[in-house]
Amino acid sequence: MHTGRVGVLELDEERLRSEMGLTRTFHFTETYQEFMSGKMSKDVMLWAPGGVSGDGIISHYDYSLKSGITEYGKRLPYLMQTIEENFATELIRFARLAVLSDMVHIPHRDYLEFSTTASHAKPAHRLHLPIITNAHCLFSEENTIYRMRFGEVWFLDAGREHSSAAMSADNRIHLIVDFTDEAGDTGLVRGAGKDSVSIPESHIVHREPLSDVERESLHALAPVVDADNLKDVLGVIAKKHYRRDGGDGFFWNTVDVLIERMPDRELAKDVVGLKEYLLLAREE
């Protein structure tokens, strides 16, 4: 299944916002720092193997255990009701709240660390449900930029190069649900009418082309890249991807030029390793 909107749920927005207020007392984890630039994102597990909230890194859980609601999920009854009424709970591996602001994800692919994990155990399909969002919250799949809106259920093809950005100080909160591969990528959402699973034209953000001057200005950052500012430079390129159309492969093509031109060759090797980690292979 390709990335796209699966359907729209009729949700009580006031009740959801009230429950999100309860999460101020939850213990959120800051995970996957290598995937982002800017402020750290925060996650809290609501559903996980053994019902254990854990550290939020999905490869760290015991996959021999059946998944269940965590202590934090039990404190959000309306959200749990929403999950149980609308999603195939028997296939859920993880469900978590992800809170972002003032940050951008570096384009990457997910689930690479589960290449040898059994299909009935590993997370393989992902749905997003925006709970709190705004016009500055954006998503990218390859060279397409788009928005998800409150109450919409989206299938995210996590195996393709993608990223997200929260380009303001306001929190973006999504429910993210990972499912096993036992039933493929269909039947994850119950009931109501579904979309044809595509990105609606009304949700796509159309950008002006990246100018030659802008492109060369990004390339000209190579001499100043060091270990202290590498993440900042990657963030500049990633944010530019959301504002200008640099063509297919813009982010990593730009990084490749920096790698070639960087005076610090050891750091350049580290960036090559980061690219491989984010796009090609990760250890289980």
Residue 76 binned pLDDT confidence (cut-offs 50, 70, 90): very high
> What's the rounded Cα separation, in Å, for the pair 13 and 26?
20
Assess whether pLDDT exceeds 80 at residue 184.
Answer: no
Residue 195 binned pLDDT confidence (cut-offs 50, 70, 90): low
Assess whether pLDDT exceeds 70 at residue 5.
Answer: yes
Residue 282 binned pLDDT confidence (cut-offs 50, 70, 90): confident
End position of a domain, from candidates 188, 203, 218: 203
Q: Considering the domain boundaries, does residue 24 fall inside one?
A: yes
The strand pairing partners of 132, in sequence order, are: 173
Residue 114 binned pLDDT confidence (cut-offs 50, 70, 90): confident
Which of 65, 75, 86 shows the shortest CA–CA distance to 153?
A: 86
pLDDT on residue 194: 57
Q: Considering the domain boundaries, does residue 284 fall inside one?
A: no
Which of 265, 259, 255 shows the shortest CA–CA distance to 215?
A: 255
The answer to whether 36 and 156 have CB atoms below 8 angstroms apart is no
Residue that the structure tokens 């195939």 belong to = 88
**Do residue 199 and residue 238 come from a single domain?**
no
The residue range of the domain holding 86 is: 4-203
End position of a domain, from candidates 137, 172, 203: 203
Q: Is the pTM of this model over 0.75?
A: yes
* Structure letter (DSSP) for residue 123: -
**Domains identified in the chain, total number:** 2
Assess whether pLDDT exceeds 60 at residue 193.
Answer: no
The answer to whether 49 and 67 have CB atoms below 8 angstroms apart is yes
Domain at 268, CATH number: 1.10.1720
**Do residue 42 and residue 78 come from a single domain?**
yes
Position 33: which residue type?
Q
Alpha helices (runs of H) in 162-284, residue ranges in sequence order: 212-219, 230-243, 250-261, 265-279
End position of a domain, from candidates 203, 232, 265: 203
> What's the rounded Cα separation, in Å, for the pair 117 and 111?
10
Q: For residues 257-269, give the mean pLDDT.
A: 98
Residue 200 binned pLDDT confidence (cut-offs 50, 70, 90): very high
